């Protein structure tokens, strides 16, 4: 089995910052933590007991939206996402 770090084409930057996952529509925004990211994706930690939606808008604050993100792996309360759009 290939480890995740070996599949990455770009080195991730550690950030460990508060973030928000906005699933859109009438669903509430989810407070989360952005652990690391690249141009292509990120690792996000959700609060215990919260299921992250399959697709959401990821943002660090009102001025820094990272783009639409799609979950590509899940492990406990961590999710790996790839960016579908970059804003």
**Residue 62: inside a domain, yes or no?**
yes
Q: How many domains does the chain have?
A: 1
Query: With 90 as the cut, is the pLDDT of residue 45 above it?
Result: yes
pLDDT (0 to 100) of residue 13: 87
The CATH number of residue 46's host domain is 2.40.10.430
Take residue 83 and report the two structure tokens written for it.
């960016």
* Burial per residue of 17-52, b for 16 or more beta-carbon CB atoms within 10 angstroms, e otherwise: eebbbbeeeeeeebebbbbbbeeebbbbbbeeeeeb
Query: With 80 as the cut, is the pLDDT of residue 34 above it?
Result: yes
pLDDT (0 to 100) of residue 87: 57
**Residue 5: inside a domain, yes or no?**
no
Query: With 50 as the cut, is the pLDDT of residue 22 above it?
Result: yes
Query: With 70 as the cut, is the pLDDT of residue 10 above it?
Result: no
């Amino acid at each position: 089995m290939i480890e995740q770090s070996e599949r990455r084409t770009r080195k991730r930057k550690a950030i460990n910052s508060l973030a928000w996952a906005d699933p859109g529509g009438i669903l509430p925004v989810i407070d989360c933590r952005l652990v690391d990211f690249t141009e292509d994706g990120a690792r996000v930690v959700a609060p215990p007991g919260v299921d992250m939606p399959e697709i959401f808008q990821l943002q660090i604050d009102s001025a820094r939206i990272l783009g639409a993100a799609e979950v590509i792996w899940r492990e406990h309360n961590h999710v790996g996402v790839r960016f579908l759009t970059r804003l």
